[in-house]
Amino acid sequence: MSAVADTCGGKAGTLGALLRAGLPVPDGFVVPFAAYLAAVRELDLGRLAGEPDDLDAARQAIEARPVHTTVVDALGRALGELGDPPVAVRSSAANEDTGQASAAGQHESFLAVHGVSEVADAVRACWASLFSPRAVHYRAAAGGDDRPSDDLVMAVIVQRHLDAEVSGVMFTPADPKDTTEIEASWGLGPSVVGGTVTPDAYRVAADGSVTRAVADKRTRLDRRGKRLVMSDVPTRVRDRPAIDDATATRLAQLGKEIAAVFGGPQDIEWAIVDGRTWVLQARPVTAAPPPPSPSGASDILTGTPGSHGTVTGTARIVRGPGDFARVRPGDILICPFTNPAWTPLLRIAAGVVTETGGVLSHAAIVAREHAIPAVLGIPNATIRLHDDTLITIDGTTGTVTATNA
């Protein structure tokens, strides 16, 4: 893959640049913008999506149309050259992973996809996700245009799937003298970036010294054939460090090399398989997380600082999409975790508190982009805090003060 952003989007363009720099990126190929544009020209999306209310019709039209045989044939040849392994299929939109907007988790990604038919279906789903409610809300918040155009286009990355033993994310510092922030957990990366597990946190100083906070990592995600399976981590392993200090130091060095390629701090997804480290994604840091905070007093709840700022508002317990309609502008979300489908709520919420997740999860990144405070990883927050009570959250120190905590 030697993709460039102009034809293959920011995410694929970045991976192409890393490959050209000799850095460890899994084998793969890209379905470029041209394939998407050819598909939507046949559908006449400009007619379907002339108004914002019709964006759902554009998504449905893409989902209903079979992928053109020329694209399917090309996918078959490219997969054959890889040896037809299980693959990851990931979106790479035109304005994704820029210095202004990450679009973190707003478009579709699929792991453990196998065979040309399933890959073609996943490619089509990535195309359609340009018009998903969460992507539409994200672009609206960023001041973008939702109408089909040559600017609103989607390429798709197809890469060899990695059965990671450990995976995570890393933020490189703006100043090389500062620390590199790393989060790590067992199994595949969506547990960390999706916020469904509270990961270990490592800070690697410029002199190579490492400080770490080991979390109770209760679940992990792994591939079983064509399925992704969430399983419980054995008790004896939950509080074992996912990586040792030497690995954290090597990751920080790799992050330094990646930041040098792009000339600025990077948000990097990585995975370790059979002792080898791979880079799955890199994008500019759009908003740096707050530094770790020491534990607070006993009369307040303390978690991980996720997004700067302090706000007082009404607590709203949100356990899933069924509760979305209860959220009012100015509420503070109290939730087990958030995933990218929750992005519309982050536009109206005054802040967010989660039971699991780390500072490099999608939810934390989007909270920082929206400039709303976030406190992460407070166990049983949905039980310890109560609906309709007034609470104050401080995303800089990672604390929550409630009238009835």
What is d(CA 279, CA 295) in angstroms, rounded to the nearest whole number? Answer: 33
Helices then strands, each counted (H, E), the chain: 13, 20
**Residue 362 is among the residues annotated as catalytic for this protein:** yes
Helix, strand, coil percentages, rounded to 5, for the chain: 35, 25, 40
Secondary structure (3-state) at 218: coil
> Taking a C-beta distance cutoff of 8 angstroms, is the pair 356, 196 a contact?
yes
Secondary structure (3-state) at 253: helix
Q: Which two three-digit tokens encode residue 314?
A: 């009404």
> Taking a C-beta distance cutoff of 8 angstroms, is the pair 385, 343 a contact?
no
* C-alpha pair distances (Å), 60 with each of 35, 64, 340, 342: 18, 6, 20, 21
Give 387's Cβ-side CA count (13 Å radius): 7
> Which residues are within 8 A (CB) of 192 and not within 5 positions of it... i.e. 6 or more apart?
167, 168, 169, 183, 184, 185, 199, 358, 360, 361
* C-alpha pair distances (Å), 3 with each of 6, 13, 89, 152: 9, 5, 15, 18
| Bridge partners, 285 (sequence order) | none
Query: Which one from 107, 137, 308, 362 is the annotated catalytic residue?
Result: 362
Positions marked active-site: 362
